Amino acid sequence: MQKKNNIPIYSGASPEQIAAGLKTLVDFQDEGLPLEDLSKLVNERLIPHFVQYDLPEFQSMFNAFPEKGAEFGANIALKYNQGVTNWQVSPGAVMLEELCCKALCRIFGLSTDSDGTFMYCGTYANQEALYMALHRKAEEYGFDFAEKGLQGFADPDRLAVVTSCDAHFSLKHAVRMMGLGEKSLVPLPVDKNRRIDIRRMEETLHELLKTKDIFCIVATAGTTSAGSIDPILPIVELCGRSGVWLHVDGAYGLAYSLVPECKKLFSGVEHADSVSWDPHKQFGVPIPSSLLFVRRREDFNRMAVYGDYFNRKDDIEPNPGLKSSPSTRPLTALSLVTSIRYQGMAKVIERLRAPLTAVKTAADYLNTQADVEVCHQPDTGLLCIRIIPEEFPEEQLGQLQIYIYNRIKKERKRSISVTKLDDKTVLRLVAISPSVTSEALMETVSNARKMAGEYQV
């Protein structure tokens, strides 16, 4: 049942107004507050400023309200506040997480030798993947990266990561944190549907390999700006030929590989060395819920740091804490497990399919409209468009999209985003929850058109 759009997407209050209202909440006193008073405060001062992700008009980001089964699991995890990473802190939580990772490897069609670990977010999953790739590069040179670090390389300036120009900025964070700097990221051009251009990639790699040590190629399965899926299988072949680690950033898109009619777009993902995924995007599970998968479970050995009191080398029980750096993590696997079990896979797939259908239907229609430019054919649940009124000056098109975006933001009835595709400023519509229908997307476009008519050239 869809909610009607007379509800604002959030209060619309300014940062100053929100801060003024919240001040009392952080006024820490000697005396405690009864829960009823606290509840009143939170309900009045905080919740109106939360964004309503379940409204059909929420079309800007990758957030979703919790699904019922997920909420059930999250409440149990919260009640018992179980830590994961180590058998001693929670045998049940550890075993559930381990089994969940194996089950996910199976449903995503990853190899029987693969493994996964839960992470705080996709950003950290990508970072860990790059770290493991660099570690493997060091092994090729015969040294232990964990011990020697970048100094072990004769010329660290040669180290490079190759990815799409549309790759997520978390890769920039990753190379910064690893001490390589952003100069080590080599962006590749994309084709008209915003997927890595495989022919140009082949040429670039051929040249780059003469001067650079490419230790990782990152393919994106669902880019953040346009939802495009890079051609994974041909990239697998290129990586195989050059012996480079392939990481697939599926933080946003991997979930859609479960939808049978989309599966083909993901072919080859099972051959990637590592894959990241964020169930907290479209699965309706509480934030944070992210995973990193590796094709060979022993790849995670590169992450292990043993302690004397914790993560001990002679522990015989499973120890997820050796697969990533945090020594405390929440039991996020539980809400994912209860969500999938409560709905059943058929409903999960239906939920994933709904926004994809909405975006495709809207794109097909908009492709017939003279005043709307559909900037790419959508692979998943994102659509970038430009409103182009008749005889509108080309040089002001960017400003027009920003004007529309600002007007929509100010109205608070819907939430969309703007982004850049190369030099073009475009409106970016996201369908992440099943409540975003093609009608809701079309309503946004009609609003945008109306606003475009009010723009003063």
Ligand X SMILES: Cc1ncc(COP(=O)(O)O)c(C=O)c1O
Binding site for ligand X (CB under 6 A): 62, 121-123, 126, 168, 170, 220, 222, 224, 249, 251-252, 278, 290
Q: How far is the CB of 170 from ligand X (least distance, A)?
A: 5
In angstroms, what is the minimal distance from the CB of 326 to ligand X? 14
Q: Is 212 or 280 the residue whose CB approaches ligand X more closely? A: 280
Instruction: Pick the closest to residue 226 from 402, 449, 426 (CA basis).
Output: 426
CB nearer ligand X, residue 128 or residue 197: 128
Name the residue nearer to ligand X (CB basis): 60 or 311.
60
Q: Which is nearer to ligand X, 249 or 270 (CB)?
A: 249
Minimal distance in Å, beta carbon 284 to ligand X? 15
CA–CA dist 252, 159 (Å, integer): 27
Identify which of residues 97 and 249 has a Cβ nearer to ligand X in the complex: 249
Tokens representing 162? 């190759």
Q: How far apart are CA 46 and CA 446, in angstroms?
A: 32
Measured at CB, which residue is nearest to ligand X?
A: 122
Which whole-number Å values give the CA distances from 45 to 27, 55, 182, in the listed order? 13, 21, 41
**To the nearest whole angstrom, how small is the minimum distance from the Cβ of residue 215 to ligand X?**
19
CB of 232 to ligand X, least distance (A): 14
Cβ closest to ligand X, residue 266 vs residue 403: 266
Q: Which letter, b or e, does each residue of 111-150 get, where b requires 16 or more Cβ atoms within 10 Å of its Cβ?
A: eeebbbbbbbbbbbbbbbbbbbbbbbbbeeeeeebeeeee
Are residues 185 and 241 in contact, defined by beta-carbon separation less than 8 angstroms?
A: no
Q: Smallest gap, in angstroms, from Cβ of residue 139 to ligand X?
A: 26
Choice between 176 and 413, CB closer to ligand X: 176
Alpha helices, DSSP H only, in 151-255? 170-177, 198-211, 232-242
Smallest distance from ligand X to CB 209, Å: 26
* Residue type at position 388: I
CA 347 to chain centre: 22
The distance of closest approach from Cβ of residue 36 to ligand X in the complex, given in angstroms and rounded to an integer, is 35
Distance of CA 353 to CAs 202, 337, 349, 399, Å?
33, 20, 6, 34
Assign residue 284 a region: left if phi > 0, alpha if psi is -120 to 50, beta otherwise?
Answer: left
> Do 276 and 174 contact (CB within 8 A), yes or no?
no
Query: Rounded to whole angstroms, how far apart are CA atoms 442 and 431?
Result: 12
Q: How far is the CB of 63 from ligand X (least distance, A)?
A: 10
Q: Which is nearer to ligand X, 290 or 401 (CB)?
A: 290
Instruction: Give me the DSSP letters along 127-162.
Output: HHHHHHHHHHHHHHTTS-HHHHGGGGSS-GGGEEEE
Q: Which is nearer to ligand X, 232 or 448 (CB)?
A: 232
Please, what sign has the CA dihedral across residues 82, 87, 92, 93?
A: positive
CB closer to ligand X out of 133 and 452: 133
Min. distance of Cβ 375 from ligand X in angstroms? Answer: 17
CB 117 within 8 A of CB 94: no
